[in-house]
Amino acid sequence: MNAAPESLQSVVDLVFAGISQVREAFTPQLKSRETGKILSVSTGIARVSGLPGVGFEELVRFPGDVFGIAFNIDEDDVGVVLLGEYTHLNAGDEVQRTGRVMDVPVGDEVLGRVIDPLGQPLDGGRALSATERLPIERAAVPIMDRAPVTVPLQTGLKVVDALIPIGRGQRELILGDRQTGKTAIAIDTILNQRGRNVLCVYCAIGQRASALAKTVAVLREKGAMDYTVVVVTEGNAPPGLSYIAPYAATSIAEHFMESGRDVLIVYDDLTQHARAYREISLLLRRPPGREAFPGDIFYIHSRLLERATHLCAERGGGSLTAIPVIETEAQNISAYIPTNLISITDGQIYLSPALFELGVLPAVDVAKSVSRVGGKAQRGAYRAVAGDLKLAYAQFEELESFARFGARLDDGTRKVVEHGRRIRACLKQQESEPVSTPSQIAVLLALGEKLFDSVPLDRMAEAERTVREAAKEIPKEMCLRFETEKTLGGEDRKAIVELVRAALSPFQPKPEPDAKP
């Protein structure tokens, strides 16, 4: 009868003995935790006291898992840029140091995803579980670890690939007034990287939600999301998120570059980024400069774009090509932010509102556009067929204004004008329809040989499409030579000319019948 109580007592003794043993072995680990309090909260900014050890750009945590970056470290308080919804924060709330800087998840897992600069998914998919993270602010690659730009980045746009070429590792600016097709050029360039082993990062800064949804829908429809990461901040996001967005996107791209991949990154657009930084700086009571921008506005863009480069073979040979977008006002390319970006980048593509209104799409103003590096990376076949095209187009634009006045033109001038009109017609291109390299070379060679000059102007679009269709018959061996040879061989040139002549024969004007006596 007493066996059960005795066994229960032995179990209790064993449990107490185990607890005593664990208690004796336990050594309390005391960790200091530095906390502060919110002094005030304004639009996207908080002033905090009580964090004497906080470092510059250190991440701090607010109630509700809202994070911020320590930006102004003053003697009495710390100015913090908030990175999330801050309407629930109040003066007196507790703030904690995290001991780390802002970082972002990187790796193949982010491909095909739409995320915000904090790494949180916005596409309704599962949360990212990437094990590797990189700080958003990283030092640019040292100059001795860089290699020359030697490989072209094909955009699929005839006017760009022929006249303003871009190389892998280059920084090419796109600028123009609002609603002139800047984003369309960037998206078409991303679409053209399909099958070219180039990964893409599209960074949308402060854009309307409807415009972002349209862009992502186009990328999904064309199958570009398989190799693209979209980093998004909407127009109603806190200015701090818009500020860190391009840096976070660049860290994602750098991870691929450092693994030996070729990467294209589009910043759309840095005007919104500059305005977000201006808003943050003014709220932090930093002294304003020209156009109320802070004095270091040039530095925030230069340290961002200097991270784009072509790595040397010892570092893996990867490349990061940057295409920043800037919005001008009233065609003023000499404004503060545009001139800053023009001086930082390796060339610019300027979009003209006048050409846009005339229906010349893409509305690239060839005279004001330049590529300071890409010409060295341009394929030999392009240089052979488009070498004199820019000069002929520039001469046409100069003479076109005289032709509008109805001035009498001699035969030579009239031929230059008519040839230029055909160049402009051939450089037109529909949105989301990249043109392959063989088709571009066939069209450009036909322009160089003036085979389009006898085609009526109202049939130029049809004739150009016919030439592109005919170019599909070019043998694969010849197409391979376009990619590898330093120039266009004489036999290849002759074969393409004959192919184009045959394609254009239906568009030649019919000879008028002899008049009856």
Residue from 171, 173, 191 nearest 182 by CA: 173
Domain co-membership, 50 together with 142: no
Domain co-membership, 134 together with 93: no
Write out the two tokens for 507.
């568009």
* 48 touches 38 (CB < 8 A): yes
| CATH number of the domain bearing residue 298 | 3.40.50.300
Domain co-membership, 148 together with 55: no
Separation of alpha carbons 322 and 319, rounded Å? 10
Domain co-membership, 338 together with 275: yes
Domain co-membership, 412 together with 304: no
Domain co-membership, 322 together with 207: yes
| CATH number of the domain bearing residue 417 | 1.20.150.20
Domain co-membership, 431 together with 459: yes
Mean pLDDT taken over the chain: 91
Write out the two tokens for 83.
């990175």
Beta carbons within 8 Å of 96's beta carbon, 6+ residues apart: 33, 34, 35, 36, 60, 61
Separation of alpha carbons 508 and 454, rounded Å? 6
* 47 touches 39 (CB < 8 A): yes
Task: Name the domain boundary from 57, 81, 101.
Answer: 101
H or E element at residue 301? helix 297-305
Show the beta-strand stretches assigned E in 124-256. Answer: 133-135, 173-176, 198-207, 228-234
Q: Is residue 28 a part of any domain in this protein? A: no
At 70-97, the pLDDT tens digits run 999 998 899 999 999 999 999 999 999 9
Sign of CA dihedral 183, 432, 120, 257: negative
Q: What is the pLDDT of residue 515?
A: 47
Domain co-membership, 191 together with 314: yes
Task: Name the domain boundary from 85, 101, 117.
Answer: 101
Beta carbons within 8 Å of 273's beta carbon, 6+ residues apart: 205, 206, 242, 243, 245, 246, 267, 300, 301
* 138 touches 251 (CB < 8 A): yes
φ, ψ at 491 (rounded to 5°):
-70, -40
3-class DSSP state for residue 464?
helix
Active-site entry in 220, 303, 372, 383:
372
Q: Is residue 463 a part of any domain in this protein? A: yes
Q: Is residue 481 a part of any domain in this protein? A: yes
* 423 touches 396 (CB < 8 A): yes
Domain that holds residue 169: 105-376
pTM of the model: 0.91
Q: What is the pLDDT of residue 1?
A: 45
Domain co-membership, 246 together with 389: no
Q: Is residue 25 a part of any domain in this protein? A: no
Q: Is residue 7 a part of any domain in this protein? A: no
Q: Is residue 13 a part of any domain in this protein? A: no
Domain co-membership, 307 together with 199: yes
- The length of the chain in residues reads 517
Residue from 493, 491, 436 nearest 468 by CA: 436
What total of structural domains would you count in the chain?
A: 3
Task: Name the domain boundary from 334, 358, 376.
Answer: 376
Is 379 designated active site?
no
Domain co-membership, 447 together with 363: no
Q: Is residue 21 a part of any domain in this protein? A: no
Radius of gyration from C-alpha coordinates of the chain: 30
Separation of alpha carbons 384 and 406, rounded Å? 35
- DSSP of 253-281, one letter per residue? HHHHHHTT-EEEEEEE-HHHHHHHHHHHH
Q: Is residue 19 a part of any domain in this protein? A: no
- DSSP of 437-469, one letter per residue? HHHHHHHHHHHHTTTTTTS-GGGHHHHHHHHHH
At 425-483, the pLDDT tens digits run 999 999 989 999 999 999 999 999 999 999 999 999 999 999 999 999 999 999 999 88
Domain co-membership, 74 together with 192: no
Identity of the amino acid at 88: H
Distances (CA, A) of 208 to 215, 272, 293: 11, 12, 23
| CATH number of the domain bearing residue 91 | 2.40.30.20
Which ranges of the chain have pLDDT less than 70?
1-6, 30, 406-407, 510-517
